[in-house]
Chains A and B, each alone.
Chain A
C-alpha cells in the first residue's frame, strides 16, 4: 500500500476515506480533521481558556498533542478515580506527557477530595462502575472548569465513542440524551461550555496517531470496564464498518446534520441549583451529591460492621 499523498509506503489504511497514509501524512491528516471540526462547529474563539479532560488514554493525550500543535494553549485536568494500579499508571503517563511538553496538568484526587473511590461508589449505589465513574467525571471536570475560570471544557470523545453512544441512545429512544448529544454544548448557568473536537477521528486513528507520534499512553483497559455495553456496541459497529466502510461516520454525521434538531426542541429540562453544592441539576439534590451521600453512608456502615 502507498501513501495517497506522497506514494511512499503507507503505515495505515483509512478505508472510509478510501485512503492510505505514510506516517507524516497521516499525522497531518488527523490534525486537519480536528482543525476542520473546530472551524465547522465554531468550537473555539480566539483567547478562550481551554481545559482538557485527561485520562492518560490515547484519545485525551493525542488530542492534547494535536491542539498544542495547532497552536492552542490548553491546560489538562486528571481525575484520580481510585482504581488501584490502573489509576496510578494513567496518572503517571499523563504527568510524564505534560512534563515533556511543558503543559499544565491539574490533578483532582476523588478519594482524597470527595471521600470515595469509583469502586466504592459503584458498590454503594448499585450503579455499574462506568456509570458512577461517568457521573463523577462530568461533575468534577465541570466544577474544575467553572471554578478555574476556563471558558471551555474540551473532551477527547472520538467518532466511535459518539457513534456507540448514539446507537445506545437510539436503541433506548432516550430523548433527553439524544437532545443533548452534540459536539458543542454552550455554557449555561454553572455549566462550562463543552466541546468534542475528535468526533471526526475514529478510535483506531487516535490510537495510531498516539503510536506514530511516540505518545506513551495507557494501553491496558480499566479493570472495572469488563462487559461494558458501550464497548460491546463499538465492537458491533466495527463489524458493520468492516462490511461498509464509512457507516459509523455516516450514522453520526447524519444524526448531527439532520436528526439532532428534531430532538432538541422542548425536551431540555429546567436546571436549578443543587441544594447541597449549587451545581445545576434537574432535581433538588444533584446526582453527584446523592452518589456521594449514599457512598459515605455505605462506607460508615462498613467501617462500623
Chain B
C-alpha cells in the first residue's frame, strides 16, 4: 500500500499492513498525533487496510508557540 506522509509531503510503500493500528505501530506513530485519511474518509484504528489502498498519515500537531 501507498502511504502519504506530510511535513514535508512524501510517499512510502508498505506491505502486509492489515489494519490502521498495524500501520501506526509500524511507523511508531501515536494515534493521538495523526489523522489517517483514505480518499475523503477518516479511518479509525480498527479499520482494515488493503494492499492497493492509498492512505495519508496527516500530523495534527501544529502551531509552535514561544
Interface residues of A (CB under 8 A from B): 1, 10-13, 20, 57-59, 128, 130-131, 133-135, 160-161, 164-165, 202-204, 206-208, 211-212, 219-222, 224-225, 228, 230-231, 234-235, 238-239, 241-242
Contacts and interface: CB of A to CB of B under 8 A. Distances in A.
Nearest to A221: B7
The dominant DSSP class at the A interface is helix
B46 A1 contact: yes
Given A11-B42, A220-B9, A221-B7, A207 B32 contact: no
B16 interface: no
Contacts of B61: 160, 203, 231, 234-235, 238
A205 B48 CA distance: 22
A128 B64 CA distance: 11
The dominant DSSP class at the B interface is loop
Nearest to B59: A221
A26 B35 CA distance: 14
A220 B35 CA distance: 14
B12 interface: no
Interface in B11-63: 30-35, 37, 41-46, 58-63
26 contacts: A11-B43, A13-B45, A57-B62, A130-B64, A133-B64, A164-B65, A203-B60, A203-B62, A204-B32, A207-B58, A207-B60, A208-B42, A211-B35, A211-B37, A211-B42, A219-B7, A220-B8, A224-B64, A225-B63, A225-B64, A228-B65, A231-B64, A235-B61, A238-B33, A241-B30, A241-B32
